A and B are shown apart, each in its own frame.
Chain A
Amino acid sequence: MDAMAHTDQISMPGSAPLTEANEVKIAARGVDVFYGKNHAIKNVDVDIEDKTVTAFIGPSGCGKSTFLRCLNRMNDTIDIARVEGDILLDGEDIYDKRVDPVQLRARVGMVFQKPNPFPKSIYDNVAYGPRIHGLTRNKAELDDIVEASLRRAALWDEAKDRLKESGTGMSGGQQQRLCIARAVATQPEVLLMDEPCSALDPIATAQIEELIDELRQNFCVVIVTHSMQQAARVSQKTAFFHLGEMVEYGDTEKIFNSPEDKRTESYITGRIG
């Protein structure tokens, strides 16, 4: 917020001031997704910037979650789903035959709508990723990763004395932060979040949003949200999806102040679109 005081541009509360563009982390070119005969995503081109929060907004069924799930090949798990076009992570095609989807998902982490901790201890939840990917050599290193991840997820102070307790015994907001800690433990480069606050109360939501703003320092964050206020609060870039098309993509300030497309305007102002 302090940085905002130095800029005389109209800023959305909570959003960072406009700075020079960050490097492109993910580039999508001509992406189409089909579920059987259903054409769910139509020819999407987008450059997603590193160290930036990008929000995908749009009505239910518009394709925003489908597109998000393309970014770490989650759609591979759906038999009838077919993805065409190119999605490049740091310039490399993630759908290339040589790319191992499991390795990819360590680089592109995901947080889901409902907090889904494993029925294991808080410690084991966070340690799970580093263990299966063999990221540590000994217990001390693993302890460090667990602590660092819980700190990143703003959960350390609440969890440090109950690391052996089950993750499922925490409150909803704590569980979601635990899932974020679990996602960041593999030291990913990108964090995908699919409506991460829709099951949380306003206080827990505010804590997650604060966390997202901090995560932006180190990660490329992409968030799907049904709350337009949330998109306005946490993101620097916003993409509006409608009927499988990406209608408009740009600076969040621009999208919420004066969008170019009539359909974007109708959606964000709550008109029948």
Chain B
Amino acid sequence: MNDKPHIASAFDRDLEAIQAKLMRMGGCVENAIRNSANALRSRDLELADQVREDDRKIDELEAEINEDCARLVALRQPVSSDLRLALSVMKIAGNLERVGDYAKNMAKRTNLLAQMMPVNGATGSLQRMANEVLAMLSDALDAYIRHDQPLAEKVRHRDLEVDQMYNAIFREFLTFMMEDPRNISACMHLHFIAKNIERMGDHVTSIAEQAIYLVSGEMPSEDRPKANATMDMADDAVIGD
């Protein structure tokens, strides 16, 4: 990466403005994850509605960022690290928008779950998983803005923990459903929420990969650890029952 200023200072201002907007969008998405997880745990329907309302702002920011980047490419013809910056900002804005959508989906399901019998202990594990994704997102955005490749690499490998948490939750929910079929409706929704959080982790990983691309000029190879073992578990559950 090149820390020297451009000869055209307006170019620097454009690049800084785009990154500032991306960080603002990142902040909105962090709030969305935090609020949706809290709303789920405390059955706070007002907060859940707030998450759905706030998602509009996230979508607007993504559209603005895409427009700003298109304008930058058209007017400045960026190359090398400047081009990577424009491309990665667009990609990250797309990832953040998806994470925002998953948070909104959690909020919708929170409304439905509020009408059902609570499943004891289920929301605690989901909250822990959401906290982990939130911490990863915060680090991924820090790594991006500070051009901190080692931190981005760490985030990328932490997705394994989220996958493992998801596997544990999957197992937990299977047990709840087997114990009492009246839990099935709620557990189905809770499982979708778990899956949503797991998908958030994948998008956060993609953000970390964009940080690596921005700094190094190369996308990291595919060999990061993954641990989705739920396919095998589903079989075990059916056979074992």
Contact = CB atoms under 8 A, between A and B. Distances in A.
B8 A258 contact: no
Contacts of B216: 258
B115 interface: no
A140 to B, nearest CB: 49
A226 to B, nearest CB: 14
Interface residues of B, number: 18
Interface in A237-273: 256-259, 262, 265-266, 268-273
B80 to A, nearest CB: 5
Given A257-B217, A262-B2, A270 B8 contact: yes
B81 A269 contact: yes
A236 B200 CA distance: 41
Contacts of B81: 258, 265, 269
Contacts of A265: 2, 80-81
A229 B80 CA distance: 12
Contact of B5 (A228, A258, A262, A271): A271
Contact of A269 (B6, B217, B218): B6
B83 interface: yes
A232 interface: yes
Contacts of A229: 77
Given A257-B217, A258-B217, A268 B79 contact: yes
Contacts of A270: 6-8, 11
Interface string B60-83: 000000000000000001111111
B185 to A, nearest CB: 45
Contacts of A268: 79-80
B8 A269 contact: no
A203 to B, nearest CB: 19
Contacts of B4: 266, 271-273
Contacts of A271: 2, 4-7
Contact of A266 (B2, B78, B84): B2
A269 B217 CA distance: 14
Contacts of B84: 257-258
Given A257-B217, A262-B2, A271-B2, A232 B7 contact: no
Interface of B: 2, 4-8, 11, 77-84, 216-218
8 contacts: A258-B80, A265-B80, A269-B78, A269-B81, A270-B8, A271-B5, A272-B4, A273-B4
Interface of A: 228-229, 232, 256-259, 262, 265-266, 268-273
The 6 A-B residue pairs with the shortest CB-CB distance, nearest first, are: A258-B217, A271-B4, A256-B79, A265-B2, A269-B82, A270-B6
